[in-house]
Amino acid sequence: MNLKTTPSPNMYRSNIKIGMQVAVVLKKDQKTGKRTIGKVHQILTSAAYHTRGIKVQLDSYQIGRVQEIKEEKKN
C-alpha cells in the first residue's frame, strides 16, 4: 500500500524566514524526536524543498531541521 502524505510547510525553504520562531530537531535528538524551539538565525538548506525539513541555524547557534513553524515573522 502506498501512503503519501501532504508535504508540510516546514519542508519548503520559501516558508522559513530569518527571525521567525520554529521548532527543530537537532542531530543528537533525531532518535528521540525531541524538539528545540528558537529563532532562525540562518537558513542552511539551499534546495527549495527537503523531505526531512529545512536545515537552519538558530540564534543559539544550534543546527537542526525545522519540524514546525511556531509563528509567522512579523514585519
Taking the domains of the chain in order of start, what are their residue ranges?
9-69
Judge whether residue 75 has pLDDT over 90. Answer: no
Q: If you average pLDDT over residues 60-65, what whole number do you get?
A: 97
Task: Give 35's pLDDT tier (boundaries 50, 70, 90).
Answer: very high
Specify the residue for cell string 532562525: 40
What class has domain 9-69?
mainly beta
End-to-end Cα separation, the chain, in angstroms: 45
State the average pLDDT over residues 47-54: 95
Reading the block at residue 48, the C-alpha cell is: 527549495
